[in-house]
Structure 1
Amino acid sequence: MPAAPRARPTDLFTPEEWAPFQTRRGWVGPLLVLHCWGVIGLAMAAGILWPILIPVCVMIIGTRQLGLAILMHEAAHGGLSTNGKLNDFLGHWLCAVPVGASLSAYRPYHLSHHRFAQQPEDPDLILSAPFPVSPASLRRKIIRDLTGQTFFKQRVLLPLAAMRGAKAAPATPGSSRAPRGSPTTNDHDYEAIVTGRSILPFLLVNLALLVAMTLAGFWWAYFALWLLPMATWFPMVTRLRNIAEHACVEGSATDPFRTARTTLARWWERAFIAPYWVNFHAEHHLFMHVPCWKLPRLHRAVRGKPQGARMEVADGYLTVLRTASRGESLR
């Protein structure tokens, strides 16, 4: 069971060059969580005051729901706080549970992904293995997301199956993984595995949100400005994130500088697709304990070294989608 290839900081940097990436500030992570909920709150308020803005608000809120999942990911690496208990509290109750995930379930799953990234044992290989796909296949996946079909599968069918005692059986990388294009890879099996372990807390938190909005006199806002983004835009941008991170990156199983892709997101992509520096995924896989807010600086530092030329870097998410649906190389 070989582990993924690794790079060491000393392979690229002097101790002085690496020192800034080793420090953590305890207040930044909580501030990011506050920022994420603040953006959600402001977008909800805008949608309530000016209903004509609801379509834009749905996109903003859905992206920040992904932002909560990203900050849960940061907590899985211990990056939200230098205090372990606070890190886990923020990551679980304020980030994971509201979007139906569980930090305790996600952490071992995700760390296994880092250990075996793009190897047969990588549990996330089911997300990248089916690509490239045809443009028609990609359109169907995005339509399923935007029409709520992916959400229905994850949030309704999976809990019903769990209550009946049934077990989901996604393709297992490294053993009998389904071939490219198999239906078992179509609808975020990875999220289904993780979110399926947090059904009751997810329902309770969402009930509390509904009660709070009802008491405030805006019961409909829960459905239009929280549930609708979660059922449509959130699954779609989660899919785009998953595609961008690992799909169609050649040499990823043998070269640590090609384990993942970095996408140079424009301002509108950061606002509507990729918040909290999630687009710097190649750097995250190289040095996973560097806090997310330092990844842009790490990107510049790595690209300034000869080894950085080997990294897979896309100039935007549209470029990634063209690659994932046509198999065009970015190199």
Structure 2
Amino acid sequence: MDNPIEIETLRRFLSPERVRELSKLRPSRVLCDATLCWVFIFMAWLAVWAYPVWYVILLAIPVIGNRFYALYIIGHDGLHRRLFRSIKLNDFFSDLLVFAPIFAITRLNNQNHLTHHRNLSRGHDPDHYKYTCLNKNSVIDLICYLVGGQSLLKGIRNVFLGGSKAFGEKKGRYSLRDIVLIISWQAALITGLSLAIGWWAYPVLWLVPVFVFTFLADNVRTFLEHGFHSSDADAPPHRLITYWAPWWERMFLSPMNMNYHAAHHLWPSIPYYNLPLADQELFEVSRSDSGGLLWRRSYIGFLASYFVAVPIEDCIESA
């Protein structure tokens, strides 16, 4: 069955009226969550400033990266324009507090992400490389993927350099406003961290945490939330998976309720803070007929089973 038809069939599990209720926005929740994330990041920088010793630095790195990853998930809702009712406010908030610090812009990045939603598991999905078995069919290839060896340049091309043109998307350009935001953030980060802590602070206390605990963590999460240890042809066409994982797995791999990924793909209008309730109702109504939806108990458990499963038999490009 073609993927859009399959997903439309699965959406019957919640009524349109219930989806509208769950899709109500609470901007105050967004403001509170984003503020707390930045508070933790600044507290980690402050701790290193006060005690610039190796063990404080090692503790600060995951705090900075993980709390920015939580911000990044909030920004993911911004890509769907689900933070505020005003698109202008939504994009400015996302750009100012999430994307500009990592050289990105909501208005441009959402093209790549929405293309992924429209074409999940089909040839036009720009994120297909993140969960296909084709580039993860040996232990070495899988490790290479997990450390970003296969994804960094491809992700940059898709998101920043118009790689989604290959999927029929018209890529926009950075405006003066976008450039000013990005340059201002980088100038503030480089200057502030260098003057307060040292010349090494920008790469060690910003670039490294964001790369390891945001980019790599999100890369791994995307694979695990759409991946199967079977050939792509044998995987369910929609690849919708939710993780009821332990809290520590969720903290590092799916903050801000991103583990409820099936509900998010079925109803992208539901904001991150309402996904647990949507998942609970989805699970209850789908017990008799799950439609191929899956609930897994552990990210690490599935990853370990994938290591055992490779090489995967008949791992070929699906139609």
**Deviation (angstroms), 1:76:** 1.2
Residue equivalent to 1:252? 236
Q: Is 1:70 the counterpart of 2:73 in the alignment?
A: yes
Answer yes or no: is the 8 Å Cα contact 2:73–2:256 preserved in 1: yes
Distance in 1 (CA, whole Å) between partners of 2:215 and 2:31 is 25
1:82, distance to aligned residue in structure 2 (A)? 2.0
Q: Name the TM-score, length of structure 1 as normaliser.
A: 0.75
Q: 1:13 to 1:270 in 2, by over 3 A?
A: closer
1:301 equivalent to 2:281? Answer: yes
In the alignment, structure 1 segments of 5+ residues that lack a partner are 151-184
Once the two structures are TM-superposed, the CA of residue 59 in structure 1 deviates from its matched residue by 1.6
- Give 1:288 shift: 0.9
Change (3 A) 1:7 1:323: farther
Q: Which residue of 2 aligns with 1:139?
A: 143
What are the Cα deviations for residues 106-130 of structure 1, in whole angstroms up to 9, with x where unaligned?
Answer: 1122112111111222221122123
Q: Are residue 98 (structure 1) and residue 78 (structure 2) matched? A: no
Identity of matched residues, %: 25
Instruction: Find 1:311's aligned residue among 275, 293, 297.
Output: 293
User: Residues 141 and 310 from structure 1, CA distance in 2 versus in 1: closer, same or farther, beyond 3 angstroms?
Assistant: closer
Q: Give TM-score scaled by structure 2 length.
A: 0.77
1:218 CA displacement: 5.0
Which residue in 1 is equivalent to 2:188?
A: 208
How many residue pairs get matched?
285
Q: Which residue of 1 aligns with 2:170?
A: none
Q: CA offset at residue 220 of structure 1?
A: 4.1
Task: Trace 1:1-331 onto structure 2 (pairs within 5 A).
Answer: 4=4, 5-7=6-8, 11-14=12-15, 17-18=18-19, 20-50=21-51, 51=53, 52-129=55-132, 130=134, 132-142=136-146, 144-145=147-148, 185-187=150-152, 189-196=154-161, 202-216=182-196, 219-248=199-228, 251-253=235-237, 258-306=238-286, 307-308=289-290, 310-327=292-309
**CA distances 1:79-113 after superposition (whole Å, capped 9, x unpaired):** 11122221110112221111222212211221121
Q: More deviation in 197-206 or 106-115?
A: 197-206
1:126 to 1:9, Cα distance in 2 relative to 1, 3 A = closer
Residue 233 to residue 192, structure 1, CA distance change in 2 (3 Å): farther
Q: Is the 8 A contact 2:11 2:266 kept in 1?
A: no
**How far apart are the structure 2 equivalents of 1:243 and 1:324?**
11
Q: Where in structure 2 are there 5+ consecutive unaligned residues?
A: 163-173, 313-319
Contact kept? 1:127, 1:190, Cα under 8 Å? no
CA contact (8 A) 2:25 2:83 kept: no
Distance change in 2, residues 1:232/1:22 (3 Å): closer
RMSD: 3.0
For residues 213 and 319 of structure 1, the distance between their equivalents in structure 2, rounded to whole angstroms, comes to 38
Q: From the superposition, tell whether residues 85 and 16 of structure 1 become closer, same or farther in structure 2 (CA, over 3 Å).
A: closer
Deviation at residue 260 of structure 1 after TM alignment:
2.4
Moved segments of 4+, more than 6 Å: none
Question: What do residues 242-269 of structure 1 show as CA deviations (whole Å, max 9, x unaligned)?
Answer: 212212285432xxxx432212232222
Match for 1:291: what amino acid? P
Partner-residue secondary structure (3-state), 2:7: coil
For residues 50-88 of structure 1, the C-alpha deviation after alignment (integer angstroms, 9 at most, x for no partner) is 431322321222223323332221111111112222111
3-state SS of 1:23 partner = coil
Larger deviation: 10-19 or 222-231?
10-19
User: In terms of mean alpha carbon deviation, does 230-239 or 54-63 score higher?
Assistant: 230-239
1:186 positional shift = 4.6
Deviation per CA, 1:132-186: give whole Å up to 9, x if none.
53233222334x44xxxx5xxxxxxxxxxxxxxxxxxxxxxxxxxxxxxxxxx55
Q: CA deviation at 1:17?
A: 4.8
Aligned to 2:166: none
* AA matched with 2:141: S
Greater shift after overlay, 120-129 or 230-239?
230-239
Q: Is the 8 A contact 1:246 1:259 kept in 2?
A: yes
The one-letter amino acid paired with 1:41 is: F
